[in-house]
Amino acid sequence: MRFHSTIFAAFVLGSAPAFAAPVDCSKGPIPAGPAKGTLNGVPFTADLVRLDPIEQRTQGPATFDVWHIYLSDKAGSKFDFTVITVKGKQPDGHTFVSDVTGNGPEAGPGSHEVQGWEMTAKGNEVGFYEVNDASLQAAFGHRTGNAMPVSLHFCVPSKKTDVAGAITVPLK
């Protein structure tokens, strides 16, 4: 009897699915080339990049500059994300991250550098508060004239989303 239960236990353990670690795009290298991938399972290429005018927001004891960046493609799909810096501090040369738990470095007391994101593809809109497996890495380069290069990797496996590569953010 003991032999049979050992074989059964080995069979059950051997056939159990392995739990893979969650995909975390906030870590590791960012693929080279223009930003592209999928949003909600729909092919996406960042054809247009736009920056909202920089606004200030006070949270607790600090005032922050809000950097809200939009990427869109010719089909109408969109992805936008928001990062903050302490007022007057430029994002040049800094990498902003939000891991799969939604955590990342703070720009100031109680205020994460990455404030959120939203995506829309084929009319289906998804925000950062609706999923628990999203991650983002946005590596800001140094501005040249009125443009700033940014390399990014954004993924939400549960929504068949993975966008990675380089964009140029117009500063005016």
Is residue 7 assigned to a domain? no
Q: What is the average pLDDT value for the chain, to the nearest integer?
A: 89
Q: Which residue has the higher pLDDT, 12 or 23?
A: 23
The DSSP secondary-structure symbol of 61 reads T
- Give me the mean pLDDT over the 78-107 stretch: 96
Is residue 22 assigned to a domain? no
Q: Who's near 15: CB < 8 A, 6+ residues apart? A: none
**What distance in Å separates the CA atoms of residue 52 and residue 58, rounded to the nearest whole number?**
18
Q: The pTM is what?
A: 0.86
| Domain count along the chain | 1
Is residue 142 assigned to a domain? yes
Is residue 19 assigned to a domain? no
Is residue 107 assigned to a domain? yes
Q: What's the pLDDT tens digit per position in 129-172?
A: 999 999 999 999 999 999 999 999 999 999 999 999 999 999 98
Is residue 15 assigned to a domain? no
Residue 126 belongs to what domain range? 27-170
Is residue 85 assigned to a domain? yes
Pick from 46, 45, 38: which is nearest to 155 by CA? Answer: 38
**What distance in Å separates the CA atoms of residue 107 and residue 132, rounded to the nearest whole number?**
22
Is residue 72 assigned to a domain? yes
- Percent of the chain residues topping a pLDDT of 90: 80
